[in-house]
Amino acid sequence: MRIHHPEWFKITLPHDKIFYSIKTGIKRSGLHTVCEEAGCPNRIRCFSLKRVTFLILGKVCTRNCLYCGVTKGTPDIVDKNEPVRIAGFVRDMKLDYLVITSVTRDDLADKGAGQFAAVIAEVKKERPGCRIEVLTPDFSGDMSLLKTVLSAKPFVFAHNIEVVKEFYPRLRPGGRYSLSLELLAQAKEMNAITKSGIMIGLGETINQIKATLKDLKHAHVDVITIGQYLPPGKEAPAVRKYYTPQEFNSLKVKAQSMGFRQVCAGPLVRSSYCQVEVTE
């Protein structure tokens, strides 16, 4: 059954030359992007702006978050050439900003932290000056793995809280709300620019959203994204509420008044939708 979203989701943008070169470049490279794998509605806009979010460490996740469309099961073998291949893409496409994320790899001894660090290092070598944002899993709370990633000096460290605390047992059973906050707080302790994101529309209350923002502020998060949850497939939980652009704006004003340094909120906002403008 086709899902009909409210009219503010309808966007018409021209497909330009840059869009096509990025799209065909991704296909040719054989690399995975969240943009394509998740069928993100922002691809025309982002590719035209030369924004891409690479998904590293395979396409199969070891966790089972209900709101996420990534395949779950036995994960892929780690591609040791992935860092070099991504760096080549960034160099050839002349990207100036890059987001790297991964599936959760609880099966790996280092939970994938080394691959994040290797991608950062290779991109820096091939395209010095390209700002790299990493969006990582929680590394099961192993702060030494966080250090591994931050030692490679990404521009931004992001880890999404994803949903309000009350939904963790049902929607994010492999995660822990307090552990995600701790990871973000520790990243700040290690002097990173930090970022987190929340999806709304799953049935949470406004007070629960505000409590989440308060907890993220308490963890000294710099940048926050708030976007509309859209089900990735028929099995995923249904949308309980479509927030209007006005309601997103009210949440943005609220978050700004709480002191976040950058707030990106709107129906189509995804964690990697806005480039981080904050500098140290």
Q: Which residues bind ligand SF4 (CB under 6 A)?
A: 34-35, 40, 42-43, 46, 51, 53, 270, 272-273
When the beta carbons of 46 and 149 are compared against ligand SF4, the nearer one is: 46
When the beta carbons of 46 and 56 are compared against ligand SF4, the nearer one is: 46
Contact 275, 97 (CB under 8 A): yes
CB of 139 to ligand SF4, least distance (A): 22
What phi and psi values does residue 148 have, to the nearest 5 degrees? -55, -45
CB of 267 to ligand SF4, least distance (A): 12
First vs last C-alpha separation in the chain = 47
When the beta carbons of 37 and 166 are compared against ligand SF4, the nearer one is: 37
When the beta carbons of 22 and 118 are compared against ligand SF4, the nearer one is: 22
Q: Any idea what DSSP says for residue 81?
A: T
CB of 19 to ligand SF4, least distance (A): 11
CB of 35 to ligand SF4, least distance (A): 3
Contact 163, 198 (CB under 8 A): yes
Q: Any idea what DSSP says for residue 76?
A: P
CB of 21 to ligand SF4, least distance (A): 15
Q: Any idea what DSSP says for residue 60?
A: E
3-state secondary structure of 133: strand
Residue 272, both tokens: 């990697």
Per-residue burial over 142-169, b if 16 or more Cβ lie within 10 Å, else e, is eeebbebbbebebbbbbbbbbbbbebbe
When the beta carbons of 43 and 195 are compared against ligand SF4, the nearer one is: 43
Contact 141, 183 (CB under 8 A): yes
When the beta carbons of 99 and 149 are compared against ligand SF4, the nearer one is: 99
CB of 144 to ligand SF4, least distance (A): 29
What phi and psi values does residue 90 have, to the nearest 5 degrees? -60, -40
